[in-house]
Amino acid sequence: MSRYCRNRTRPFGPRAFSLVELVMVVTIIGLIAAIAVPRMTSAATSATTGSLEATLANVRKAIDIYYAEHGSYPGYDPADRNPSGVHFVQQLLRYSDDRGRSNDTLVAPYLYGPYLRRLFPKNPFNGLATVHVKANPGAPEPADGTVGWVAVLSHGYFGISATDAEFQGAGIDIALAAKQKIFKGVGVGGN
């Protein structure tokens, strides 16, 4: 007599998750996401704002030191005294003489500076490191997105070139930005 062993499996195959269990898992994942995402977004916004504040503070400090040593703000072309964004950057990144002419090496008469030790910082919104300089706060603003920064030479103001939408897109409150001296352009506030 031969015996056959039957495979004792469940009649309907392996046990599956019930609908209630799946709904509970999805609900728990949703709750975790609802708690975590705003915190991550807030942290990213705080990091962007903090980085921007530090950049503005460093450049403004460099502008103040330049002014203390030269008696004028950086950004004037030494040849004709016209505002120049290129000269603004060069006068902060390179050695300069008492007239504001710049040079890559420390040799007489280029005995001042450099006031910033690295490449000129980039605007975190548009990635540009260019500076639009204007003689006074009433001068026209640059077109949005064409420069990274704006400087007013008569007052030493320095600010970011960004639209209100770019501020809001990064989660930065415009009223708070004005309090913290992070401006669109530099028509308000100051150094």
- How far is it, in rounded angstroms, from Cα 20 to Cα 84? 68
Q: What is the pLDDT of residue 37?
A: 74
Hey, where are the domains in the chain? 49-179
Q: What is the pLDDT of residue 177?
A: 58
Phi-psi region at 88: left, alpha or beta (left = phi > 0; alpha = psi -120 to 50): alpha
- Residue found under tokens 């280029």: 110
How confident is the model over 153-186, as pLDDT tens digits?
888 888 887 777 777 766 666 665 555 455 554 4
**Among the listed residues 87, 188, 66, 174, the one whose alpha carbon sits nearest the alpha carbon of residue 131:** 87
How is residue 65 written in tokens? Answer: 């030191």
The parts of the chain modelled with pLDDT lower than 70 are 1-14, 39-46, 169-191
Q: pTM of the full predicted structure? A: 0.69
Q: What is the pLDDT of residue 10?
A: 55
Q: What is the pLDDT of residue 109?
A: 93
